Structure formats: structure tokens, C-alpha cells
């Protein structure tokens, strides 16, 4: 298995390991080995994010984010005040859950200044957020 795949599956940013650290190397489903071993969308987004991070300067922020429970749009997307449209962001909630998303546009100017992003319904569901507004840490590219 390639080292990059191991790093992605374990959320490692470099090749540094600690004594006693557990690593997720692989798994086998109860249904056996599947013919399709393609990476999931989140794995591909994670790989692309860290590839960009090696080439570009990233920025970090934390603050409030909103989401719309009634939105019919599906997918892993975010509106962000400063991130470059089309780039990927790393979102982490305060329980340590991480998800990657694509910036589809800038956050509208009429949003309160303490709101740093608007996330899709799928992201909020993944992070198990039920409130319309919650706190996140976000890493992004300008």
C-alpha cells in the first residue's frame, strides 16, 4: 500500500509517527473483496487538499458557520469569505471530526462578520450538527 494512502486514511500530514500510535492500514468488508477499489470522494478531496498544501500557503480560522436544513442541494460544498472559489477546505468541528469540501462561492457580504462560512446540509449531517449555527475550525487557500 502506498505511503500516501496510509497518510490520507490516518489524517497524517507528514511521515512522523509516535510510539504506540495506531494506524489504519486496511480493512475487508463482510461481503469480501470488491472489484472496485476506487478512492471515495472524501479520500480524493483529502489527497488533493494536502497536495495543494504542499504547494501553496494555507490559512486557518475558527468561528461560526451556518447551514440550511431545508436546502435541497447535496454535496460537500462551502461558501467562504476569503477562500478561493474552486479550492478545497479542511473543516474540523470541536469534537475533532474532519471533512473536506469544495468552495463554490464567496460568502455573501450581508452575512454577519462573526460567521466565517456556510456549509452544505451534507457536511452538517456528517458532523452531526442539528443547530442552524455551530463552531468550526477551517483551513483554506486564498
pTM of the model: 0.72
pLDDT for the residue 30 = 62
pLDDT, tens digit (0-9, with 9 covering 90-100), for 88-129: 999 999 899 999 999 999 999 899 999 999 999 999 999 999
The 8-class DSSP code of residue 85 comes to: T
Q: Say which residues have a Cβ less than 8 Å from residue 40's Cβ, sequence separation at least 6.
A: none
Question: What cell was used for 78?
Answer: 462551502
pLDDT, tens digit (0-9, with 9 covering 90-100), for 20-30: 888 877 665 56
Question: What cell was used for 14?
Answer: 507528514
Tell me the average pLDDT across 75-93. Answer: 94
34 falls in which pLDDT band (50, 70, 90)?
Answer: low
4 falls in which pLDDT band (50, 70, 90)?
Answer: confident
pLDDT for the residue 23 = 81
Domains assigned to the chain: 39-140 (2.40.40.10)
Pairwise CA distance, residues 52 & 68, whole Å: 29
Amino acid at each position: 500500500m502506498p505511503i500516501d494512502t496510509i497518510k490520507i486514511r490516518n489524517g497524517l500530514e507528514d511521515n512522523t509517527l509516535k510510539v504506540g500510535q495506531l494506524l489504519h492500514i486496511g480493512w475487508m468488508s463482510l461481503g469480501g473483496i470488491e472489484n472496485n477499489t476506487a478512492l471515495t470522494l472524501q479520500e480524493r478531496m483529502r489527497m488533493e487538499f494536502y497536495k495543494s498544501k504542499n504547494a501553496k500557503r494555507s490559512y486557518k480560522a475558527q468561528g461560526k458557520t451556518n447551514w440550511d436544513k431545508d436546502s435541497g442541494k447535496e454535496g460537500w460544498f462551502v461558501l467562504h469569505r476569503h477562500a478561493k472559489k474552486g479550492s478545497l477546505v479542511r473543516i474540523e468541528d470541536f469534537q475533532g471530526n474532519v471533512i473536506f469540501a469544495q468552495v463554490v462561492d464567496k460568502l455573501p457580504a450581508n452575512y454577519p462578520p462573526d460567521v466565517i462560512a456556510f456549509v452544505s446540509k451534507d457536511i452538517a449531517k456528517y458532523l452531526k450538527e442539528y443547530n442552524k449555527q455551530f463552531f468550526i475550525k477551517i483551513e483554506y487557500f486564498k
